[in-house]
Amino acid sequence: MAKRKPGKSGSKKKVRVEFRKNRGKTARDKSQWTREFHQDKTKSDDAGTSENVRAKGDLSRKRTIIVDEESTAGLVKGTVVRMRGLIAEVDDGKQIWACTVRRVLRTRQIDERHPVAVGDRVFLTRVEMAGEKSTLMSDDCELTEGVIEEIEPRTTTLLRHYDRRVHVVAANIDVVVIVVSADQPTLRPHLIDRYLVAIHQGEMRPVICINKADLDVDGHAAAVAERYRQIGYVVLFTCILDMRGIDALRAELTDRTSVLVGPSGVGKSSLLNVLDSELKLKVGDLSDLQRGRHTTTTASLLRWQFGGFVVDTPGTRQFDLVKLASEEVEAYFKEFVDRISGCRFPDCSHTHEENCAIQDAVDSGEITAERYDSYVKIYEECREKERRN
Ligand SMILES: Nc1nc2c(ncn2[C@@H]2O[C@H](COP(=O)(O)OP(=O)(O)OP(=O)(O)O)[C@@H](O)[C@H]2O)c(=O)[nH]1
Ligand SMILES: [Mg+2]
Ligand SMILES: [Zn+2]
């Protein structure tokens, strides 16, 4: 195994990172150091910050840690592009490495399924066996084996609860595209609301994409699109058959790092293929959808020809939220935020109280019943978790 090369002594920097106990309120790291580390330099200043919503009494919880530059000097820098079980595939700009993770890093994050995620920026060393480089096979490709020694603090994370652990869907993302379809599979707006909560929680920019516009025979999907536009979200109505909305979607993704999320079969990989003709991703057919079969099975980070990066993810039927307190939920419903001060009780949960500005807005039609029902469902879910813990 390769030894770490010694670095210059005394080269330490202060970095402000998210406090571990933070209930999901992220400290977006604005330090120059992190900014410089962005190898792709695609992060634009407005991305992620323009959609921020804040909870009442929100505290900026950051702690300062000392990052020892010595520990990363001489190591290979790269980005995790794919996870294959316990192996992380890392792109250093020249080649893809197959990496395991140093044990000390594995014990650091016990509540997460895996200490590294797609989009993580890492430092690695080469594994050598008797002086020879070691290789691992992945999809018939022979990759040089490495060990991840350090992981950069993440600027953003999209988290979900899965299999009783926290799953980092992707790290260091600017834009999250929630992809759903007008039909096949059936459009479920509640799922959009769950994603929106996680995206706001992670301080990323959401874009809603309703694909398969050709299947919207009764105008239901168009009405859903309008509902979210009214709240102030960017909503694109797309179709890969007549290319509706494709240029507008490309404009949202150019020079940014984004991730496409949503149920299986909605057309995430199909959209990527039409957005960039160089990508030749496998897409499913109707029988896959009917049998509930996923076509994309692992998340992977891809480079756009037109600038920026994108993560294609496998479809998810459910999306369970992480580290979310019941009183925080209101802050992630954009159209609620400015009305909350009108509630009679400062700790109003907007579920049963008298003189509630949110329930009044539902009665007058300013807040839709669908969005309110989503809020109550997520709120009750969080309450239930709090009662059990
Ligand atoms: N009618 C119609 N079909 C579409 C459209 N976009 C994609 N499809 C079809 O939807 C099916 C599923 O597409 P995929 O791209 O594999 O879906 P996915 O979201 O990547 O699915 P997973 O990888 O399983 O998560 C394919 O048969 C596509 O041809 C569209 O705009 N209209
Ligand atoms: Mg796919
Ligand atoms: Zn209220």
Domain limits of the chain?
Answer: 12-51+59-151, 157-312, 326-388
pLDDT at 299: 93
Which residues neighbour ligand 2 (ion) by CB within 5 Å?
268-269, 295-296
pLDDT at 137: 76
What is the mean pLDDT of the segment spanning 164-169?
89
Weakest-pLDDT range from 8-17, 56-65, 78-87, 147-156: 56-65
Report the candidate in 15, 36, 18 with the shortest Cα–Cα distance to residue 26: 18
Cα–ligand 2 centroid distance for 157 (angstroms):
21
Ligand located closest to 263 CA: 1
Find out whether 124 and 76 touch, Cβ atoms under 8 Å. Answer: yes
pLDDT at 266: 96
Mean pLDDT of the chain: 83
Ligand 1 mutation target, pool 283, 300, 310, most atoms within 8 A of CB: 283
pLDDT above 70 covers what percent of the chain? 79
Which residues neighbour ligand 3 (ion) by CB within 5 Å?
343, 348, 350, 356, 358
Cα–ligand 2 centroid distance for 294 (angstroms):
7
Query: What is the b/e burial string over 265-278, where b = at least 16 CB atoms within 10 angstroms of the residue's CB?
Result: bbbbbbbbbbbbee
pLDDT at 104: 67
In angstroms, the CA 39 to CA 53 distance is 28
Residue nearest to atom 27 of ligand 1 (CA): 285
**Would the CA dihedral through 41, 46, 49, 51 be positive or negative?**
negative
pLDDT above 90 covers what percent of the chain? 63
User: CATH fold of 326-388, please?
Assistant: Ribonucleotide Reductase Protein R1; domain 1 (1.10.40)
Per-residue pLDDT reduced to its tens digit, 60-94: 444 444 445 556 678 899 999 999 888 999 999 99
Residue nearest to atom 22 of ligand 1 (CA): 264
Per-residue pLDDT reduced to its tens digit, 341-353: 999 999 999 999 9
Nearest atom (ligand 1) to Cα of 283: 16
Using the predicted structure, report yes or no on whether residue 275 has a pLDDT greater than 70.
yes
With a Cβ cut-off of 6 Å, ligand 1 is lined by 211-212, 214-215, 239-241, 264-270, 283-285, 294-296, 314-315
User: CATH fold of 157-312, please?
Assistant: Rossmann fold (3.40.50)
DSSP of 167-230: EEEEES-SEEEEEEESTTTTP-HHHHHHHHHHHHHTT-EEEEEEE-GGG-SSSHHHHHHHHHHH
pTM above 0.75, yes or no: yes
- In this structure, whether the domain defined by 12-51+59-151 belongs to CATH 3.40.50.300 is answered with no
Number of neighbours of residue 181 by Cβ within 10 angstroms: 25
Residue nearest to atom 6 of ligand 1 (CA): 267
In angstroms, the CA 241 to CA 274 distance is 10
Using the predicted structure, report yes or no on whether residue 57 has a pLDDT greater than 80.
no
Per-residue pLDDT reduced to its tens digit, 97-142: 999 988 766 665 556 667 899 999 999 998 877 777 777 777 777 8
Q: Higher confidence at residue 17 or residue 247?
A: 247
Using the predicted structure, report yes or no on whether residue 336 has a pLDDT greater than 90.
yes
Query: What is the b/e burial string over 137-153, where b = at least 16 CB atoms within 10 angstroms of the residue's CB?
Result: eeeeeebbbbbbbbbbb
Cα–ligand 3 centroid distance for 344 (angstroms):
7
